[in-house]
Structure 1
Amino acid sequence: MGTVSTRVVTIPNVLSVVRLVLIPVFLWLLGTSQFGWALLVIVVSSLTDFVDGWIARRFDQVSRVGQLLDPAVDRLFIFSTLIGLAWQHFLPWWLVIVIVLRDVTLVVMGIVLANFGYGPLPVHHLGKVATFALLFALPTLVLGRAFPDLAAYSDPVGWALALWGAFLYWWAGVIYLVETARLVRIPRVADAAPSDTLGD
């Protein structure tokens, strides 16, 4: 991968903004029971998430803004979709809480790391797989509402992906937690070393 640029206006960043704009559109369509159009919007949003990453790497358009914007939009997209589906009784609220609680935990870890002088942890591949699973699970669940005849097939697949994604989400979260604990101990060990030397 090339260097990380400071550019703001790039194709991947524009696609991230498009996904951001589509979030309230999706929620409105879902709330008005226009499930076919809601399905189209969520599919487009999911596809642009994969396309913008490919474009960024393929055409050397990785930017600092994109590194912050893309995951932030991903989280907002997943959260809003989960809440919308739970509000329409497509998903139980406990699943929403499980997924949201994991990211709240990550925010707390980020604050702890910042207090110890560390930046955000690099994204683990398990976290990427979990996001991938959830981004496929959500439109699959909407598919069963847009086309009821397919629900017998799409719902089990959507549920399997959602539960698997939630499990991997927390698995990656535990890995981040372990790494955070390891980094937090480093300054303490470094601070303790001089006092040990002086005491000898």
Structure 2
Amino acid sequence: MADPVAPPPLRRGFALADAITLVRIPLAIAFPILGGTTERLALLGLAAATDLGDGVVARRYGGSRIGAVLDPIVDKLFMAAAFGTVLWSGDLAWWEVTALLMRDIVLSVAFFITLATGRGTAVPARFGGKVVTLLQLLTLLAFILKSSYFLRPLAWATAAVALYAIYDYNQPFFRKLNAND
């Protein structure tokens, strides 16, 4: 008997959630180009809404194998573009931006390792990762609103939670890698 609360299984091909995910690509391209506060607030809001929306749609109506891989890649693309803009502005140093993105960097490396070893590609979202994403969005909000009072504390809070998230994400990753050895 099927679990009544389990999400629908992943299917081949393209799903509605994938179309929602793809909206973030032009948002990532536009973020560094559009410099106005209103424009960047709109881009950040749309990026956050599509990140939430694609997950809700995928859980409710089913996602695709493509989407399971595409969503985290597009998430990282948007964050890289947005925090690259923060770096370019000089509001945070390169090492602070790196600390903000360390969870994304580690997960990207893990993704390519699992891809190269043929041991799976999708990494399910975990609570720590959701908190990091929320803090990253709040950090970007502080940047857009030119709130230097909140920018650095949010950046460091994000980096601290990212350390936990790296640990949390890597537990099943290392179990999976060691399972076949």
Does the alignment pair 1:96 with 2:97?
Answer: yes
Partner of 2:20: 15
The structure whose Rg is larger is 1
Residue 124 of structure 2 aligns to a residue whose secondary structure is: coil
Distance 1:134 1:8 in 2: 28
Q: Name which of structure 1's ranges 103-112 and 61-70 shifts more when overlaid on structure 2.
A: 103-112
Distance 2:107 2:57 in 1: 27
The C-alpha deviation readout for 1:125-155, integer Å capped at 9, x for no partner, is 21122112212321232023xxxxxx3xxx4
Q: Name which of structure 1's ranges 42-51 and 104-113 shifts more when overlaid on structure 2.
A: 104-113
Cα drift, residue 88 of structure 1: 0.9
Partner of 2:179: 186
The C-alpha deviation readout for 1:14-64, integer Å capped at 9, x for no partner, is 22212111112111113xxx2332222222222221122223223x13222
Does the alignment pair 1:3 with 2:9?
Answer: yes
The C-alpha deviation readout for 1:71-130, integer Å capped at 9, x for no partner, is 111111111100111101222211222244443333333444456552144332211221
Runs (5+) with no aligned partner, structure 1: 145-150, 189-200
Runs (5+) with no aligned partner, structure 2: 1-6
Partner of 1:139: 141
Residues paired across the two proteins, number:
174
For residue 16 of structure 1, what is the amino acid of its counterpart? Answer: T
- Give the CA RMSD over aligned residues: 2.4
The structure with the largest helix share of the pair is 1
Percent identity between the two aligned chains: 28
TM-score (norm 2): 0.80
Distance 1:45 1:184 in 2: 33
TM-score (norm 1): 0.73
